[in-house]
Amino acid sequence: MTKVVKFGGSSLASAEQFKKVKEIITAEASRRFVIPSAPGKRFPSDTKVTDMLYACYDLAAKGKDFKEEFNAIKERYYGIINELGLDLSLEQEFEVIRACFIGKAGRDYAASRGEYLNGIVLAKYLGFNFVDSADVIFFNDQGQFDSKKTGRSLSARLETMENAVIPGFYGSMPNDTIKTFSRGGSDITGSIVAAAVNADLYENWTDVSGFLTCDPRIVSNPKPITTITYKELRELSYMGATVLHEDAIFPVRKAGIPINIKNTNKPEDVGTMIVESTSQKPAYTITGIAGKKGFTVINIEKDMMNAEIGFGRKVLEVFEKNGICFEHMPSGIDTMSVVVHQQEFADKEQEILAGLHRNCHPDTIDIETDLALIAVVGRAMKSNRGTAGRIFSALAHAHVNVKMIDQGSSELNIIIGVSEDDFEIANKAIYDIFVETKL
Ligand code: ASP
């Protein structure tokens, strides 16, 4: 059995956390390949090393003095090394990094050093091999992840090793410069490594015991989700459930490898299993609720719209030409609404309105802002009658006005649009009806 284990920034923020991580890894011989993040926050007001690196590099890039900021980063690593009693000097590494900062090696290079250095420290502490991700994770000329080249290189390299630490978050470009994934991207590295070594399980260790049925900032102590399918997770992640980077599911999903989200501070908790499919019945009709604020709806009205061939295409063409992605598009006989991200739309508002008038000749266009979307997700909804009915009666009882409804054809989710002011109440009402009262 082979497990790939990824540890997030808070799991590796201090020597104390490193000790917990070592205990977890050595508890099972199957935990052979380890993906570390950069040291994260040790306490709420602390700064992640990745953010320190970005800030330090920004000074260097402007030609300003960055000594103090650079020393603060060194101190984070030396704090860990000294407290663990490791015989390890990173002086040479820091000299190279300093020179590359002065030489303006790029923000991605700068940020990647957080994981790189933490990988060296962790490998030393565990007595594992260290594999620099720049040598095994590749991007193409367009900056897209090159899965074929990476898969080949990683498999060949790791095949020869009993164990290894492979830093998360970055890889290299064809011209040998460093490129990172988007923030939180060590999750993606872990998934890529798991697929490359054909792991039995990808364990993603973080500071929470998995996904919860609802945002804990809205509902106190929401029930945990013990098993979730990739499809359900995709819906929830997209709507703001942030435990795992949303792109991290693709490499393992293709290879049929489950992910287990685990808590470094409570390793005995079962966490959340993310699987392709399962015969396990969820505890409730719904698996989870997630939502986001900050949407705008553009309502377009035109008599006889339903008989006009190509109307929808003409509308969407305007959004496409302005580089705006649409989220949902509920429609009536003579109306069509396009739901977009408020921030993106605001920058292009007048161009889009002019384009719609020119392209589609509508009778009226009306814009509604400050909309929140809530996704109610669950594989059990398909086989349960009345889920929508219960959602809407719960919302009515909570005096929430529903502005938009969208049920995907997969019957995996129901998306509800409400005013931002009603967002919290609506989440709570839906949670209560399905989870608290188990209806
Ligand atoms: N250290 C990077 C970040 O803070 C990547 C990661 O932790 O996954 O975003």
Q: Which of 127-131, 243-247, 342-346, 366-370 has the lowest mean pLDDT?
A: 243-247
Q: Could you please state the CATH topology (level 3) that the domain comprising 288-436 is classified under.
A: VC0802-like (3.30.2130)
Check residue 365 and give its pLDDT.
Answer: 97
Residue 37, ligand 1, Cβ within 6 A: yes
Which of 196, 337, 325 lies closest to 255, judged by CA? 196
Instruction: Say how many C-beta atoms besides its own lie within 10 A of residue 25's C-beta.
Output: 23
Mean pLDDT of the 355-381 span: 95
Check residue 411 and give its pLDDT.
Answer: 81
Q: What is the DSSP string of 245-261?
A: -GGGHHHHHHHT--EEE
Q: How far is the CA of 360 from the centre of ligand 1 (A)?
A: 44
Domain ranges, ordered by start, for the chain: 3-207, 288-436
Q: CA 84, 193, 202: angle at the middle one, nearest 5?
A: 80
Best of 169, 204, 206, 242 for a ligand 1 pocket test (most atoms within 8 Å of beta carbon): 169
pTM equals: 0.85
Check residue 279 and give its pLDDT.
Answer: 84
Q: Supply 318's token pair.
A: 């305007």
Q: Which atom of ligand 1 is nearest to the CA of 184?
A: 8
Q: Supply 48's token pair.
A: 């992640």
Strands 288-301 and 335-341: antiparallel
Q: Supply 73's token pair.
A: 């980063």
Say how many residues make up the chain. 439
Percent residues over pLDDT 90 in the chain: 87
Quote the CA–CA distance of 300 and 335 in Å, as a whole number.
Answer: 6
pLDDT in tens, 87-98: 999 999 999 999
Quote the CA–CA distance of 251 and 147 in Å, as a whole number.
Answer: 9
pLDDT in tens, 8-49: 999 999 999 999 999 999 999 999 999 999 999 999 999 999
Q: How many CA atoms lie within 13 A of 39 on its CB side?
A: 28
Residue 168, ligand 1, Cβ within 6 A: yes
Q: Note the CATH number of domain 3-207.
A: 3.40.1160.10
Check residue 228 and give its pLDDT.
Answer: 94
Percent residues over pLDDT 70 in the chain: 100
Quote the CA–CA distance of 257 and 388 in Å, as a whole number.
Answer: 33
Rounded mean pLDDT of the chain?
95
Tell whether the model's pLDDT for residue 241 goes beyond 80: no
